[in-house]
Amino acid sequence: MSLCLAAAGLAVEIAASAFTLSWTHTIERTVWQESWRVADSGLVLDEARVKGSGAGMEPPGDAVLKGGFYVWRPDLPAQKEIVLRRATEAGDWRFCAAGRCAGLGEWLGVDAEPVVIRPCPG
């Protein structure tokens, strides 16, 4: 399975079945991370991690503190795609897959939005 990133008419295929998204919360200025995988049903969110808590980012009651992050498994059905927009205050989304971590703009070669992440067809 592979992932497709798309924005502004451009598409990039990445030979990976799992990826991590991370970003900085615009108010609290803390890091939020999500670990996703590609499944037959779509994109599955396996784990969420947030470094701290605060406005709009309170970890759920079942979160466990590990290495300075609150970690939990969100109850979210598989997604057909993820659509991302950038907030100037937060900077670019960080996307890690296939042994590489970089901003989505670097992966795509353009800072366009929205960026769509989905399993590649076929």
List the pLDDT tens digit at each of the 122 positions of the chain: 899 999 999 999 999 999 999 988 666 677 889 999 999 999 999 999 998 766 666 788 899 999 989 999 999 999 999 999 876 666 789 999 999 999 998 999 888 889 999 999 87
Model-level pTM? 0.88
Alpha-carbon distance of 107 to 12, in angstroms, equals 8
3-class secondary structure, 20: strand
